[in-house]
Structure 1
């Protein structure tokens, strides 16, 4: 079957490559200069248009016809030039066209408040001034109004349904994946245009046969803003006992670019969001590195359904330094260094119920937590990017210490927790490419990573004495854990490029070495420390060696492009634990093919289809035998072979846009089927959870469909957007010895508008509504229904000269079939007076005008339901002064 699939795919590519007639040529002006974006029509003898295209940056065009035809004619037209054409007599030779200048007399046109969007090849350009408002301070305030562009609460930016891969500043990758500081700091008045770059390929030598599907944003800085250092300084004080401070400085000239920032507050704003990487999953996938995650926690719960800026009780500070220096047009060095200190308070109580056939497990919890996470992150990058050479080396060193203390009450029994974690993560990624004289490209890659992350969880006094100490009271538990890890991945590849077809062959190896060293101690009231049991120790050593080879075949025609990848990998896994007498090895040979096809259905529309098969083995966390206390009521261990997951994934999407009309639409569907050989068996009581992985085959199937659209209404100076998504998944749970299949369905809707009502007034409204149904797929099975509505609105207007008012509200409504409805209304007010000559803004703001101090939430999963009550910040009043320079 595999051979038949491979043969079929190769046959399809052969048809594309060799079964077509090609007509090509070049378009230039009278001086011989290439003309880009010229409309080219291919007509038959009757004058019917058989195909159309546009010239690229080199003035080149190309047509591909399935059938041989006679009487063909190529015609070229472009604004400002006379039309030209040529008859096709011999398809084997190029048909070059020379366009003569043609002056066009246009009638006078007056444009009033009409936003514009320009298109140049794969780049769309939004004029910042067309979408900006007087109240907008940073470029992030403007981007959210641009049709086709969506900004999530986390700051993550998407274009027509696809997350951006990078945000450039004047073409330079200053911030890598952590671009929130740019959208929050760069003044909107300093940005001339926001460009959306489709099919972004940052490596110059790869642009000729570009197969990239990435989308990037580029901020084009105004010329006058490049000549000086810009920034601002903010100082704010408020009640009760609140402060807010910020100092930013930035420069964007040809040789030196930097965005440096120091900020701190205790008003519920998380400065750590400025250093969040939005595409970390893609980075990990490229490096093929599965880093060990922290295993221990205090069991602290977040606030579901409520934005962080309304729930966070914090005192935090951040130093964020980003500097880039260009030695020349091809060589640059970048340093990104940040340090975050945070203190967070969490206070909540909740009731949890787990519904099983003939049984309901129920427990109540109260927690009062103080969390102190810190992050010191350093990244140094050297990049040389020319037409013949590419070198990129990135060194990273992260130190992430964290402390947490917690007072808990579980089913009426009180205890105290302390958790200390210290993660040190150091890595280096090297990538070198060279274009040979034959136009083939050599690529060398190496990635090294070393991690250490000791953890200590202490609980006093001891809980669940009947289970942990033969019914006798005891002083506490200490869980000690270390997870050192090493990983390297290295390969060499050669790309052979011939016209529209390229072949890449890769060979390499990776090595992963990890350990789990853990001991769970019981402390008696007498002070004696002893192992909880002989099964509470791990001394596990793990190694995975992978040798692999891969062939990738890519074809790019005028209207269709596709790629077939055939990775073949040999895996050798060994793991030993002398304490639990575990000594096993495994050898597996996997072929994991993937296929993707893109078809241009029009100049601005395309259809994509993809299929992939993945065969993945589990990791060290799947096979440790000794019991580990993960949190104060959860014990985990394993008693199964190494997990194997075989996943088939099929997807398709359709992207549509009319750039000049500023209309964007996309729809995506996908299906995945994951077959597993193990399952987590949960043993649940009112006081404790114990999990053991067991060998049992099961499937997780997921069906997804989503659509979204965005349109700019010129007459109303408004951007409207709407979307819908549907997701259905089936899976099984093993709890208290009962295997139960479940089905979970979620249907979500969203919509919004960003509008300029008048020259002095803007408004926005956003709505999100979701319905979730969970059902046990057995006779008389449990069924739950959960609905949530969230609405946000803002009204901004100018009252007097340089006096700006902003009023916003947020409404949340939650309905669960067996519980009373929950409803909240938050309101905020902000006044700003601009001292133009002093370049200073004076602000007075009040958040949470209704002074809501507790928030009740409903949490629904397959067969469990939790109600929680959380402490949140009440009303906060702030007076701020911001100086701009």
Structure 2
């Protein structure tokens, strides 16, 4: 009897247990609605623990069970190879739990052939192993980047990937250097970098990644774990002849909480330390701010620089302090400080002869300048960044102070004089941006930017020049040109983004204000030391006020194949300006619609095509409307007699990007056409001694077509990276000179090719060549024609002679041809020997630059109907001995 009761009790417990099991049914389908077989389906609780699991049948159906009704926070998760993982929350057990999986990009297999470099692609990220491309002689990561197929490093340090400039260089995912990344590529040891990641469609704002419309490309340097544990750096002491020095001290740290690259350097060997402060995407940043203002109205003349690497022609004595520090309070909040100061003393000496060809005459002048230039730059930038899944805060405060002084002795057409130019810019700004993601996944964005700038300028010239124009034909002692242009600007907007699936709508409304005051006077100093205005026509007291109220509707769509965007910005623009001294009091009001659209279509996992179109109306600035004449430099007088310039620009472009990462082959092709219509034109009155410009109300067109193709390939058998490219551009525009309207057609085509080769285990060789042809033609009877051709070749040989001894030989050849001038040919050569003392972590170097001791360089410049030949004094042979200690 007891046994029967026990059996009945167990059966009852089993029945109760079975009845407590709640069934969960559902399906898993692809984007076409077809059931997917053998998908892994997991039931997870609120803590992410797996409660139950199963697989789908051939129809994509699944059955799971849960023991109780407490399903708050429970999720169904489905995953399968070839599809993106998907999960849904369970809210009602009686409903079918249906999931739709989107196909995912297949990760490219890593090339595993022994002793061969490999790339690995995962989604939008392409990984280069640093060790695959580095050699023993490579010191910094910048040395290795030049060897990586698909990546190009320009002479100024700007980095491009498959034809597109990078937007940022991250260090372990952090934006430490804020676009001024030269110090990073020069300083970070290549041995400390595990991988270089190319991130396509880079979106640094976390909340925007779900519906990512970004087309930016960024690089991320993945630091090795052992390199994160200590402070790294190096110290260099160098001395040479004649009277040369080169000093450097760098310290860096890359751990999770604190990152910094702090550097102090100085030299007088022609290496400009200011290059480390270059902002490579500055033009894009200024365009986004929409705060147009002249960078400087005065100059000492158009000296130009020779067509050589800067290190070959620069006479300098310069030093820079460059501090970059980032502290992370947590994963979502960080504070960054970038502080720098540059002091430089430069010397420049040149002779120049210029000819401007008109239909009935040729304007010629010769000049000589001996310049002493003293630029200084102080910049302090503080950035607070909070970047979380639900909110984004970015506040950027910047202070810039840049005094600039040039003293020069010069002569023009054998008339000698001296000049001093002083410019002093003080600029302070704050940019605030806050985004908040709402429960609906919609985003609200608040933005505010403020800027205040002062930039006084003074130009002194002794003795007085062009007396027939500036002093009624009487000799006089000198000229003083004074300018002040304080500027105040603010831009503010609010926007809402509505997101649903792959579709996003953004609506923006805002306003900006710009207020400026241009004060200028041109004084002449008579021989009796009295000072007076040259005339009432050389004074400006121009007050300028510009305001814009705008609204913008942007529509964006993205899926695995297509990214498309349409923007419809509408703006009301009002400008008023007055100058009682020049009887000027005007205003204008304009309503502009500036539509733009773009599309990107993924033709394959690695390949895509792009197309874009934009139409933009734009208005000029205060430098378009001042009436009083300004002495821009010792031979140029500028004024205006026209309304605010209005620009209408059509721009259309297309491109194709192709890559085979496993084969390390990259190709990009692009085309762009722009048609710009202006309502003003600059009219120049030229003579052999002076140039006078006045802006007139006359329609003017600029039409430009550009085509480019570039390719890069790693040849495994040769252990070499090959690259080649061609760029074609054609421009049509008008010039008004001496009352003659000249329509010009300019064509330029440039070919380039290069190789980075590992000839043997101890010999590396590089070669780069570019050949450019420029043709200018005036489209009139008896057309004015000019032609210019230049070939530039660079080659370097790196040899490991014996253990830890390295020899580097390099050469550079330039050939220039212009039909009316003799050919120019130059060959520069350099040599460097390095010995590594491994136990002391010290490198000893001895090098000689400009072995052939070239001290004078001739150059030819071609522009429309103007030909200029220049002779520059350059440093001769320099020998240097350096010791670098690495820690």
**TM-score between the two structures when normalised by the length of structure 2:** 0.89
1:6-28 deviations in Å (ceiling 9; x for gaps): xxxxxxxxxxxxxx967798997
d(CA) in 1 for partners of 2:103, 2:152: 42
Q: 1:94 aligns with which of 73, 79, 99?
A: 99
Alignment of 1:350-749 (within 5 A): 350-749=352-751
Alignment of 1:239-388 (within 5 A): 239-388=241-390
Aligned length, in residue pairs: 813
d(CA) in 1 for partners of 2:570, 2:38: 44
Instruction: Name 1:67's counterpart in structure 2.
Output: none
Alignment of 1:132-151 (within 5 A): 132-151=134-153
Question: Tell me, what secondary structure is at the counterpart of 1:182?
Answer: helix
Deviation at 1:385, TM superposition (A): 0.3
Deviation at 1:646, TM superposition (A): 0.2
Q: Aligned-pair RMSD on alpha carbons?
A: 2.2
Relative to structure 1, is the Cα distance of residues 731 and 96 closer, same or farther in structure 2, using a 3 angstrom cutoff? closer
1:579-628 deviations in Å (ceiling 9; x for gaps): 00100010000000001011111111111000000000110000000000
Q: 2:768 aligns with which of 766, 769, 773?
A: 766
Instruction: Name 2:234's counterpart in structure 1.
Output: 232
Structure (1 or 2) with the larger CA radius of gyration: 2
Question: Tell me, what secondary structure is at the counterpart of 2:659?
Answer: strand
Deviation at 1:258, TM superposition (A): 0.3
d(CA) in 2 for partners of 1:295, 1:60: 65
Deviation at 1:674, TM superposition (A): 0.3
d(CA) in 1 for partners of 2:103, 2:218: 34
Unaligned runs of 5+ in 1: 1-19, 35-42, 44-57, 62-74, 79-90, 100-105
d(CA) in 1 for partners of 2:77, 2:307: 53
Deviation at 1:95, TM superposition (A): 4.9
Deviation at 1:562, TM superposition (A): 0.4
1:744-766 deviations in Å (ceiling 9; x for gaps): 00000111011111111111000
Are the equivalent residues in 2 in contact too, given 1:174–1:257 (CA < 8 A)? yes
Question: Tell me, what secondary structure is at the counterpart of 2:821?
Answer: coil
Deviation at 1:96, TM superposition (A): 5.7
Relative to structure 1, is the Cα distance of residues 853 and 96 closer, same or farther in structure 2, using a 3 angstrom cutoff? closer
Deviation at 1:445, TM superposition (A): 0.3
1:607-658 deviations in Å (ceiling 9; x for gaps): 1000000000110000000000000000000001111010000000000001
Relative to structure 1, is the Cα distance of residues 235 and 574 closer, same or farther in structure 2, using a 3 angstrom cutoff? same
Relative to structure 1, is the Cα distance of residues 739 and 529 closer, same or farther in structure 2, using a 3 angstrom cutoff? same
Relative to structure 1, is the Cα distance of residues 600 and 111 closer, same or farther in structure 2, using a 3 angstrom cutoff? closer
1:711-750 deviations in Å (ceiling 9; x for gaps): 1111111110000010000000000000010000000011
d(CA) in 2 for partners of 1:427, 1:364: 43
Deviation at 1:112, TM superposition (A): 3.3
Deviation at 1:465, TM superposition (A): 1.2
**TM-score between the two structures when normalised by the length of structure 1:** 0.90
Deviation at 1:31, TM superposition (A): 6.5
Are the equivalent residues in 1 in contact too, given 2:332–2:388 (CA < 8 A)? yes
Question: Tell me, what secondary structure is at the counterpart of 1:172?
Answer: coil
1:206-262 deviations in Å (ceiling 9; x for gaps): 000000000000000000000000000000000000000000000000000000000
d(CA) in 2 for partners of 1:155, 1:96: 43
Relative to structure 1, is the Cα distance of residues 154 and 27 closer, same or farther in structure 2, using a 3 angstrom cutoff? farther
Deviation at 1:558, TM superposition (A): 2.5
Instruction: Name 2:65's counterpart in structure 1.
Output: none
Deviation at 1:698, TM superposition (A): 1.5
Instruction: Name 1:117's counterpart in structure 2.
Output: 119
d(CA) in 2 for partners of 1:695, 1:610: 32
d(CA) in 1 for partners of 2:516, 2:118: 55
Question: Tell me, what secondary structure is at the counterpart of 1:716?
Answer: coil
1:495-524 deviations in Å (ceiling 9; x for gaps): 000001110000000001111100000000
Are the equivalent residues in 2 in contact too, given 1:832–1:844 (CA < 8 A)? yes
d(CA) in 1 for partners of 2:536, 2:103: 86
Are the equivalent residues in 2 in contact too, given 1:26–1:97 (CA < 8 A)? no
Instruction: Name 1:784's counterpart in structure 2.
Output: 786
Deviation at 1:474, TM superposition (A): 0.5
Q: 1:128 aligns with which of 127, 130, 146?
A: 130
1:375-421 deviations in Å (ceiling 9; x for gaps): 00010000000000100000000000011100011001000000111
